[in-house]
Structure 1
């Protein structure tokens, strides 16, 4: 068994005077201190595409002496997969203390996701897609429009995802956007890529986070709550040679894998961290993981089910990527961190889920209307 022993979220949302590597280091220090460990205890290191120079540079920069490394990059869901990979490495005896870090400065560097994607000329899809000017927001808008066409999903229903996020963010002193918004606020905000409004889109923030995953014997020696990795799944979804369907994500596979491994069902989950790069991302993933029927995500969120203390499935109680933090344009690690807070009963008292012993974390890294990776975790307080 593997356990998450340490978690830390960088508190600032704009960091113009620090390097990305130093943000990684600050997060690493914070997570290790949270676990009651030091850099000298780390023998496994995990990072992704946000890490400057990759895993080799970061191991050197942090002064680590490791015997296992992993640089898996599946976009914003990488860090959710890293927890699973760390658990696998620990089970295989490859390491006993795994450190996962991420960090970035897109806000300070003026990146918004509105510019056309830049990929290498040898990337196989480049000559077929780049002439059409794909960006993050217009790809997600395409998926949104198709979901509306197939299932009758409305802009008002999507807006409920943002409303729920804002209700939670008001209690987070570090959240980038703390103001509670209404449906009318969302629908009257400027259209960025039809049908997505500005408030349907995540924030652009600097920051980062880190996690420490340890073996069972070490976890039991530490004076920290025991947060066990109960189940995990990963999957990929692409355009499949032209057999395109924008209405579902890789979560239909990774979610099922995680529930099967954990011997649980969606009904068992008390809290969920769901990747919210856009409001449509949440709605589709709720359907794909099995929290509601396919095509019923709109009505599910419009009933207030995502709001802590009110709904059936409180999600993203820190405000999520829509209001709190989307560091390096990769929000997966923050999703794990908030799930850990909930399981430890360390979330803000206004949003803490009662008797929270089982939490799900799910992320989509990439584009819903192109190719993406999905990763799902089920965590348990024991």
Structure 2
């Protein structure tokens, strides 16, 4: 029987840095800045970090590079690379290590300068030999296939996809840190330049710089620190394939498995959740994941996002920072779902704060709908 140390570890620091454009800074520069901010929130010294988890887009040995850069000698380093879901998997490992007493302080960090350093999207995944003859635009063509199939099978429309983008922008307009702000209408989305049919440029995530980090420790220690601990109630990951050419059903992802297990370990259900952060690399992601996580039935995601339901003031607050569509997307977005939910559960969201938020879900995606990971977080009231 799968087990998880519910509420036995906590996030005591969560920070972002350099969102948007950070010219002259490397990915590791950015990650280190976010890490120091997160450590400062908990008043934990850098030398006390004994487990380091990091995954940067341009360094296959970033665990070693980051330890050297920070000037620390951790007992354990982890550089598991599953794309944007990497950091939720890092959190799972860190939770188990803290419970076992193997470490005392875990730092998970990420940074990317892909906008100013690379000038565009940096994809770590090449098309499979079965996809290559069709010359896909990686990764957008894979998501376009999923969107097309969802439209064919369930009648989902481009207008419904546009509601996802418009809702994200409304949240971003409440977030001073968001990179893309200003008015965005359904018409703007429908008339935008097509990238990979049926996905237009407004269905695609931003290309930005940025960094994020969290600091974790055991819950008993967290209560002694001058911070507001956010407790890890349940977490699970699942991988069904690498390339979408191997998917048995393009409208169902491994999120349906990771979410079921994460909710079971946390002892809660989708109906209990106050705020949701999803990896919205493309608008179809939000629809697929709302279905797979159990917030609506399969095929009903398009109708679910209409009418401002996931926008400010809606029944289910989703991607309250603006998400990858309007806040930031520096190559891998997963860390930002964790940080934003900590902001919400600590009551620090300002104009975008969800009133009374106690339970939150973070969901991340890696590859091309390949690796999925789900984390349930809660305040002290949920223990």
- Given the two structures, how large is their TM-score scaled by the length of structure 1? 0.93
**TM alignment of 1:48-87, pairs within 5 A:** 48-50=55-57, 52=59, 53-87=61-95
Give 1:36's match in structure 2, choosing from 27, 36, 43: 43
**TM alignment of 1:1-382, pairs within 5 A:** 1-50=8-57, 52=59, 53-113=61-121, 119=126, 126-134=128-136, 135-238=138-241, 242=246, 244-309=248-313, 311-327=314-330, 329-348=331-350, 350-368=351-369, 372-382=370-380
Do the aligned partners of 2:178 and 2:327 also contact (CA within 8 Å) in 1?
yes
Moved more, 160-169 or 49-58: 49-58
Do the aligned partners of 1:76 and 1:364 also contact (CA within 8 Å) in 2?
yes
Do the aligned partners of 1:117 and 1:130 also contact (CA within 8 Å) in 2?
no
Q: Which runs of 5+ in 1 are unaligned?
A: 120-124
Q: CA deviation at 1:207?
A: 1.0
Q: CA deviation at 1:51?
A: 6.2
Q: CA deviation at 1:50?
A: 2.5
Do the aligned partners of 2:244 and 2:250 also contact (CA within 8 Å) in 1?
no
Do the aligned partners of 2:19 and 2:328 also contact (CA within 8 Å) in 1?
no
Q: Match of 1:18, SS?
A: coil
Q: Match of 2:97, SS?
A: helix
Do the aligned partners of 2:18 and 2:30 also contact (CA within 8 Å) in 1?
no
Q: How many residues align structurally?
A: 370
CA distance in 2, matches of 1:317, 1:243: 30
CA distance in 1, matches of 2:253, 2:181: 29
- Given the two structures, how large is their TM-score scaled by the length of structure 2? 0.93
CA distance in 1, matches of 2:45, 2:265: 31
CA distance in 2, matches of 1:95, 1:243: 38
Q: CA deviation at 1:161?
A: 0.6
Q: CA deviation at 1:118?
A: 5.9
Do the aligned partners of 1:117 and 1:133 also contact (CA within 8 Å) in 2?
no
CA distance in 1, matches of 2:89, 2:234: 11
CA RMSD of the aligned region, Å? 1.7
Q: CA deviation at 1:318?
A: 0.9
The residue aligned with 2:3 is none
Cα deviation digits, residues 214-254 of structure 1 (max 9, x gap): 11222011111121000101000216985631111110000
Q: Which runs of 5+ in 2 are unaligned?
A: 1-7
